[in-house]
A and B are shown apart, each in its own frame.
Chain A
Amino acid sequence: MIRKHRAHPLWFAYALHRLSGLALALFLPAHFYILSKALTQPESLDNFLTLTESPMVKLAEFGLVFLLAVHFLGGFRLMAMEWLPWSDRQKTFAAVAVAGAFLVSGLFFLRVV
């Protein structure tokens, strides 16, 4: 719940990092399961791959790349915060991480459509 004491940029950055982490953790088993089909049942993998032509799946891929990018860049932000000399521009860094994730996933989306 977004209560008043949480309504500030670094709390949102925290929430985004946590949610993207959880979402990726849910996605990964499915990802490996599908990949494993390349070895066990190549035909069913091919069937599945034709699905990826549909716009809905492309949109979902955009979401996945966004989650991955935002989790990756957000992780770097945290490592920088905890390891590099302190800088007061934490909100800017959080914004840059989110903007960077949109850039990466946006470019990916433009390439696949």
Chain B
Amino acid sequence: MSANCDELEVSVWRGDRLSGHFEVFHVPAQDSQTILDVVSWIQQNLDATLSYRYACRVGMCGSCAMMVNGVPRWTCRTHVKKVMNGNKLEVAPLRNLPVIKDLATDMDPFFDKWIAAEGLHHPTKTRDEPIETINPDSTMRAEANAGIECINCSVCYSACDTVAGNVDYLGPAALQRAWTLFNDAKDSGQNAILEAVSGAGGCHNCHSQGSCTVFCPNELNPMKAIAELKKATTKSFFKKRV
């Protein structure tokens, strides 16, 4: 085999918050190679100044997401072979977030919105009280169980065109977190959550385009969670009226 067949042509975004461009690198192809392997290889062998972010390398921490050939993906679990375009790859920082440098984005807006959506624990008990037993078969627990698999990777947030069009929109991950806690018997924040998700940047902004659900690497369904929040907020609106 010629050397060229075994070589990937990788365009990598280089730049900062204000400007940037794609830089092409040639990377040897290997079996079972992931996008993160490719990016690390470039940083270790060709340009030590390349900035990117990762931690667990096994799809648990949610820190390695990037745009790969135009779609958001968790790079540590994305095989090059599955997404390659000929022998070309394009790797860019996540969409809808400010770039810090190269492939690393500023995740602050993403996490600030978790808080804004009341995606934080509202305790029901103190440490002195006995631990509550939870029935794993209840419908509400099933909803919450589906939602806790989120790894905060921001792939859905980058896929969402409503986020792109409205900087105040809380986005799929924060809203699906809110829905998860809404169903959690150990959380007392139901009213605060409904209040937080029905405001100007809340769940009613969602156009049900479903890109969040299509791209979520952990197969969560934020679109469904948001539809359920719409239902819950509307129900509580009419309850308050009567």
Contact = CB atoms under 8 A, between A and B. Distances in A.
A84 to B, nearest CB: 9
A75 to B, nearest CB: 12
B72 A5 contact: yes
A86 interface: yes
Contact of A6 (B211, B228, B231): B211
Interface stretch (A7-15, A32-40, A103-111): A7-15
A86 B224 contact: yes
Nearest to B230: A82
B51 interface: no
A31 interface: no
Contacts of B167: none
B208 interface: yes
B231 A8 contact: no
B70 A5 contact: yes
B170 interface: no
A81 interface: yes
B215 interface: yes
Interface string A23-60: 00000000000000000000000000000000000000
A6 B95 CA distance: 13
Contacts, number: 46
B210 A11 contact: yes
B81 to A, nearest CB: 18
Contacts of A10: 208-211, 214, 223
Contacts of A4: 69-71
Interface in B202-242: 207-211, 214-215, 223-224, 227-228, 230-231
A2 to B, nearest CB: 11
Interface string B64-98: 00000111100000000000000000000001000
Contact of A82 (B72, B210, B227): B227
B161 A6 contact: yes
B159 interface: yes
Q: Specify which of A5, A14, A81, A86 lies most central, judged by the most chain B CB atoms within 10 Å of its CB.
A: A5
B91 to A, nearest CB: 14
B210 A8 contact: yes
A58 to B, nearest CB: 33
Contacts of A11: 161, 209-211
Contacts of B209: 6, 10-11, 14
A78 B204 CA distance: 12
B100 to A, nearest CB: 22
B227 A14 contact: no
Nearest to B206: A82
Nearest to A77: B208
Nearest 6 pairs of A and B residues by beta carbon: A10-B210, A4-B70, A14-B209, A5-B71, A11-B209, A8-B214
Interface of A: 3-6, 8, 10-11, 14, 18, 78, 81-83, 86, 90
Given A14-B207, A14-B208, A86-B228, 17 more contacts: A4-B69, A4-B71, A5-B70, A5-B158, A6-B161, A8-B211, A10-B208, A10-B209, A10-B223, A18-B207, A78-B208, A81-B208, A81-B227, A82-B227, A82-B231, A86-B224, A90-B223
